[in-house]
């Protein structure tokens, strides 16, 4: 289902992990190595705040397995924010580590944590999904309730009259309908309800909207510090939402993709510098196929269509689109703050990744700020008897990139 594809892992088949960054396409780069035992989570990358959960603050260049974290194979999902990480187990337990100065780990204090630690305030409250913003965390429970903790300086916790920060997860009471999907950006958050409505809160997009759309009235959902229904989606049924640093996207049950927010790097496939209301990306951009899955990096997007084709667009200066641009100008950020429109670079047009289209099936993509990782289902020998499931996750911070994941049964 499209709703599940936003956070799904691979099916029961062999999976290969590919990464592309700094100009390398997946077919040209190396298959990810160094994870060893596929039954244990592995981590690598920036670790300034202990966000890798290894018990120290040293950066890690090669993947290292986590020990004494939880039972092998029970990781359901892992995600990260501006210096913290969160993992959800199959049983719904939430483990957290990393930067905690605003209480974004939900542990009841503001001390950094160097090892993955179970979030005790949520014991007995199974978690279905977790989304990490820059300095806050959004949790979705199995009953469809949304909780939040961390910084509330921009209303990103969805509790308008609450304190400037919250160190224990608290319910967002104004989301009264059952929620099926959550997402978090730099300083804003989103939720999709069971009826297909989309809500947004947090004022992280407001300043850019005012600067880039002078004289225009911003819609309420861009300035609200409490969940506000996203206008412009009334005639569609959303199944999931994703968020970047200053943009949002929603996928509908009919395979249509709507985007809004800041368009600095062409990630909204539009000529506008800022899109105030949800704008549908024309189906011709996806070769007239329905979109079935969508992933968002900090400033770029990745989509999968009904036949398995993979499309990328947005910021490209680190090779995060997985394809070479014909013009070098497409690899440089465009200055837009002083103008309302900009000349459309090649990177702002969704184009297919042919190297990930074919016999191998891409089951999950994990965009970061300047990297992507793909979980690709590979054919196995019928006599091998091995059917591992891999799930791979990464965070979307500009200054620190890390990969966290690998779970198998």
Q: Which residues of 183-195 are buried (b: 16+ CB within 10 A; e: fewer)?
A: bbbbbbbbbbbee
pLDDT band at 408 (very low <50, low <70, confident <90, very high): very low
**Quick one: 12 and 67 in the same domain?**
no
Query: Cα separation of 223 and 350, whole Å?
Result: 29
pLDDT in tens, 29-52: 344 455 455 555 667 778 899 999
**Quick one: 208 and 332 in the same domain?**
yes
- Of 130, 157, 173, the residue that ends a domain is 173
The region of weakest confidence among 50-64, 71-85, 222-236, 325-339 is 325-339
pLDDT in tens, 89-138: 999 999 999 999 999 999 999 999 999 999 999 999 999 999 999 999 99
Percentage of the chain modeled with pLDDT above 90: 58
As a whole number, mean pLDDT of residues 366-378 equals: 57
**Quick one: 299 and 258 in the same domain?**
yes
**Quick one: 199 and 256 in the same domain?**
yes
pLDDT value, residue 332 = 47
Query: Cα separation of 233 and 325, whole Å?
Result: 33
Query: Cα separation of 142 and 126, whole Å?
Result: 6
pLDDT value, residue 287 = 96
The region of weakest confidence among 62-66, 70-74, 147-151, 296-300 is 70-74
Query: Cα separation of 328 and 336, whole Å?
Result: 18
Largest CA distance in the chain: 67
**Quick one: 148 and 280 in the same domain?**
no
Average model confidence (pLDDT) across the chain: 79
For position 353, which CATH number holds? 2.130.10.30
Element holding 269 (H helix, E strand): none
Eight-state DSSP code of residue 341: B
As a whole number, mean pLDDT of residues 17-29 equals: 42
DSSP string covering 173-226, please? TT--SPEEEEEE-SS-EEEEETTS-EEEE-STTHHHHHHHSTTPPPPHHHH-SS
Give the number of other Cβ atoms within 10 Å of residue 329's Cβ.
Answer: 12
Exposure of 147 in the CB half-sphere (CA atoms within 13 A): 24
CA dihedral 44, 49, 54, 56 (to 10 degrees): 120
Is 371 a member of any domain? yes
**Quick one: 62 and 162 in the same domain?**
yes
Total tally of structural domains belonging to the chain: 2
pLDDT band at 330 (very low <50, low <70, confident <90, very high): very low
pLDDT in tens, 176-215: 999 999 999 999 999 999 999 999 999 999 999 999 999 9
Domain range enclosing 366: 1-26+179-381
Is 340 a member of any domain? yes
**Cβ distance 42 to 54 under 8 Å?**
no
Query: Cα separation of 199 and 186, whole Å?
Result: 16
**Quick one: 236 and 368 in the same domain?**
yes
Q: Name the residue with higher pLDDT: 139 or 10.
A: 139
pLDDT value, residue 371 = 55
**Quick one: 140 and 215 in the same domain?**
no
**Quick one: 328 and 230 in the same domain?**
yes
Q: Name the residue with higher pLDDT: 361 or 181.
A: 181
**Cβ distance 103 to 166 under 8 Å?**
yes
Query: Cα separation of 312 and 167, whole Å?
Result: 37
Q: Name the residue with higher pLDDT: 409 or 35.
A: 35
Name the β-bridge partners of 314.
Answer: 300
As a whole number, mean pLDDT of residues 233-254 equals: 97
Query: Cα separation of 407 and 107, whole Å?
Result: 25
**Quick one: 194 and 332 in the same domain?**
yes
**Quick one: 15 and 71 in the same domain?**
no
**Quick one: 215 and 285 in the same domain?**
yes
pLDDT in tens, 78-87: 898 999 999 9
Query: Cα separation of 199 and 157, whole Å?
Result: 13
**Cβ distance 52 to 402 under 8 Å?**
yes
Is 8 a member of any domain? yes
Query: Cα separation of 139 and 11, whole Å?
Result: 25
Q: Name the residue with higher pLDDT: 254 or 18.
A: 254
pLDDT value, residue 237 = 98
Query: Cα separation of 392 and 407, whole Å?
Result: 8
């Amino acid at each position: 289902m499209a709703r599940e594809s936003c956070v799904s892992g691979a099916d029961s088949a062999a999976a290969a992990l590919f990464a592309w960054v700094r100009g390398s396409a997946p077919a040209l780069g190396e298959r990810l190595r160094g994870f060893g035992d596929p039954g244990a989570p592995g981590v690598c990358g920036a670790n300034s705040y202990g966000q890798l959960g290894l018990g120290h603050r040293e950066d890690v260049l090669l993947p290292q397995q986590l020990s004494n974290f939880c039972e092998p194979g029970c990781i359901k999902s892992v995600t990260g924010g501006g210096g913290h990480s969160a993992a959800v187990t199959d049983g719904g337990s939430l483990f957290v580590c990393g930067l905690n100065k605003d209480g974004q780990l939900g542990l009841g204090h503001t001390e950094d944590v160097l090892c993955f630690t179970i979030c005790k305030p949520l014991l007995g409250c199974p978690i279905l999904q977790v989304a990490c913003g820059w300095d806050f965390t959004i949790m979705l429970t199995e009953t469809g309730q949304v909780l939040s903790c961390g910084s509330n300086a921009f209303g990103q916790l969805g509790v308008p009259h609450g304190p400037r920060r919250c160190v224990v997860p608290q319910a967002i009471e104004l989301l009264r309908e059952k929620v099926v999907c959550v997402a978090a950006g730099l300083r804003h958050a989103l939720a999709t309800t069971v009826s297909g409505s989309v809500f947004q809160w947090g004022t992280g997009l407001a300043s850019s909207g005012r600067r880039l759309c002078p004289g225009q009235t911003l819609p309420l959902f861009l300035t609200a510090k409490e969940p506000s229904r996203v206008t412009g989606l009334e005639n569609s049924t959303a199944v999931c939402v994703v968020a970047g640093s200053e943009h949002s996207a929603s996928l509908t049950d009919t395979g249509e993709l709507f985007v809004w927010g800041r368009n600095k790097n062409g990630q909204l496939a539009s000529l506008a510098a800022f899109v105030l209301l949800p704008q549908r990306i024309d189906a011709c951009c996806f070769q007239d196929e329905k979109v079935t899955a969508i992933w968002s990096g900090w400033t770029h997007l990745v989509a999968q269509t009904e036949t398995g084709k993979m499309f990328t667009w947005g910021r490209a200066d680190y090779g995060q689109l997985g394809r070479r641009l014909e013009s070098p100008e497409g690899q440089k950020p465009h200055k837009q703050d002083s103008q309302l429109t900009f000349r459309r670079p090649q990177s702002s047009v969704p184009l297919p990744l042919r190297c990930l289209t074919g016999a191998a099936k891409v089951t999950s993509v994990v965009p970061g700020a300047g990297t992507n990782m793909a979980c690709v289902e590979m054919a196995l020998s019928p006599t091998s008897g091995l059917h591992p499931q891999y799930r791979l996750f990464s965070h979307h911070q500009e200054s620190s990139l890390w990969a966290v994941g690998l779970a198998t049964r």
